[in-house]
Amino acid sequence: MRLNIFSKLFLAMLLATIVVVLVMVVFMNWSFRNGFANYHNAEELNKVQELAGKLSQEFAAHRNWDFIRDTPQQWGQLLASIGEFPPPPPPSSEFTRMKPPERGKPPPRPLSVRLNLLDADQQLIIGNPSHVASHPGDKGILTTIAIHASGKVVGWLSVRQGGRIPNDLAGTFLSQQLRNLYLIALFAAGLSFLLALVLVRHLLRPVHSLTQGAQALTTGKFDTRIVVSAQDELGRLAQAFNTLAEALQRNAILRQQWVADISHELRTPLAILRSEIEALLDGIREPTSARLQSLLVDTLAMGKLVEDLHQLALSDSAEMTLSSEPVNLTAVLTEVALGAEARLQEKHIRLTTRFERKQPLWIRADMERLYQLFANLLSNSYRYTHASGQVEILAKRQDDRVVVSIQDSAPGVPDAALPHLFERLFRVDKSRSRALGGSGLGLSICKNYVEALGGTIRAAHSPLGGLLIEVTFPILKQV
């Protein structure tokens, strides 16, 4: 069974919380037991120290240990003075034979049973002989405390202590505290369950919105937007989605406008051709050389438009192959200027080059596309510059860039039209552009060429009164 992201996040958070709670319970259980046992052992040693002081006083009064050997009740009275009950008498052998052995762990033994009194030579005076010496199998720690009288050691108190709590009241307190700890851990696990559920739902709410929005985009609803309610990573993802949706909506509108403009551009010359041909076929007009020449001009205009569309499609797609090689931009501009000079002279347009033809300007580019780029720009100047005007080509190095400017004389371009010159099918004057053979695609193709070659292009007003197109390329420092 595949788990969705909600189940994965929820289970991961819940499992991590449960593991932390379990580790906390185990550690606190161990720490509490050990700490309580150490505290109890320390309290016992304090009692043993108090008993050692009393025994020191008694020994000083009697000058020997016979008062303990002869009257064991004295030992019980001393134990009672420190708050301990005397040890119970040992069971008789007959009672031991009749009583069945108890299973499980033996009950904890009080301090009086584990306490022994030894003389100065560490010989047992009273107590349990099995608790006097340590053996490899013994459990617990044997602690001895010296008894002083008249500045010398006159005896010893030994006590064996272990990790078990030998007091029913203390054991009950420990059990209650551990039970409370388990209840707290259970409450923490339940609270973590609820928090994980709420937190995961909160985190995944934007993901669900993104999923619904993506599904809406696939159906063409590009006006879909997601409400951005946070500034975290999910909020930035929602903002990126809205940006994508806006781009898709804008591209859809541009595509519709593009198709409508192309249809309009093709419909007009086709309608003219159809009417002219029908008039010739019906005999309304004579098939004179002038009329046939007019039909040829319209056909060539359609062919130019279709070719520009093809070039634009190539420059938009990845099918346009560009070579990357060192190119002398000065040589390319010189060749383009020589090729365009004769055509510009037809309209008496003077071409001026303002760069040193013998000084190379090296860039990395595709020579064929570079030639097409500047040929298209000069063709645009030829098409729109008034007769007897002028065109200038300027090339220079500027820091680590090469800047090429092609500017012409009147007519100029309105300020509002400058930002749109590189848009497809945009014309400042549609009727005049169509009459001059312009398709409105030339500058769009030039822009794609420049960007594909790693450069930038911009349009501005020319000091000569017309349009200035500035193209910038990174310079190639080493050839």
DSSP code at position 91: P
Q: Where are the beta strands (DSSP E) in 29-119?
A: 115-119
Using alpha carbons, list the distances in angstroms from residue 289 to 67, 295, 296: 156, 10, 10
What is the C-alpha to C-alpha distance for residues 54 and 105, in angstroms, rounded to an integer?
35
Enter the tokens of residue 93: 């052998």
Residue 407: enclosing H or E segment and its boundaries? strand 401-409
Enter the tokens of residue 237: 């993802």
What is the C-alpha to C-alpha distance for residues 448 and 318, in angstroms, rounded to an integer?
12
H and E: helices and strands count for the chain: 12, 11
* CB count in 10 Å sphere of residue 318: 6
* CB count in 10 Å sphere of residue 329: 24
Using alpha carbons, list the distances in angstroms from residue 71 to 78, 125, 131, 191, 358: 12, 12, 22, 64, 131
How open is the CA angle 154-160-162, to the nearest 5 degrees? Answer: 155
Residue 150: enclosing H or E segment and its boundaries? none
User: pLDDT value at position 213?
Assistant: 85
Enter the tokens of residue 454: 């790693």
User: pLDDT value at position 189?
Assistant: 75
445 touches 390 (CB < 8 A): no
User: pLDDT value at position 250?
Assistant: 80
**CA-CA-CA-CA dihedral for 217, 223, 227, 232, to nearest 10:** 60
DSSP of 186-255: HHHHHHHHHHHHHHHHHHHHHHHHHHHHHHHHHTT-TT-------SSHHHHHHHHHHHHHHHHHHHHHHH
Q: What residues form DSSP beta bridges with 267?
A: none
| Size of the chain in residues | 479
User: pLDDT value at position 434?
Assistant: 45
In sequence order, which residues have a C-beta less than 8 Å from that of residue 80 and are 6 or more positions away?
A: 86
Write down the pTM of the prediction.
0.45
What is the residue-level pLDDT of the chain in tens, covering all 479 positions? 566 666 776 777 777 777 877 787 788 777 777 787 788 888 889 989 998 898 899 888 888 888 888 888 888 888 888 888 777 665 554 444 444 544 545 556 778 888 889 988 888 888 877 755 554 445 568 888 999 988 899 999 988 887 555 556 566 776 777 788 778 878 877 787 787 777 777 777 777 788 888 888 888 888 888 887 777 777 788 888 888 888 888 878 767 766 766 676 677 678 778 888 888 888 887 888 877 887 787 787 677 667 766 666 665 554 555 677 899 999 999 998 988 888 888 899 999 999 888 888 999 888 888 888 888 888 888 888 999 999 999 999 988 899 999 999 988 888 888 888 887 666 665 444 444 444 567 787 788 878 877 889 999 999 999 999 999 999 887 65
What is the C-alpha to C-alpha distance for residues 56 and 48, in angstroms, rounded to an integer?
12
Query: Is the preceding omega at residue 463 within 30 degrees of 0, hence cis?
Result: no
Select from 249, 74, 282, 63 the least CA-distant residue to 155: 63
368 touches 311 (CB < 8 A): no
Give the phi and the psi of residue 90 in degrees, each rounded to 5: -65, 140
Using alpha carbons, list the distances in angstroms from residue 143 to 38, 137, 160, 298, 341: 14, 17, 6, 119, 116
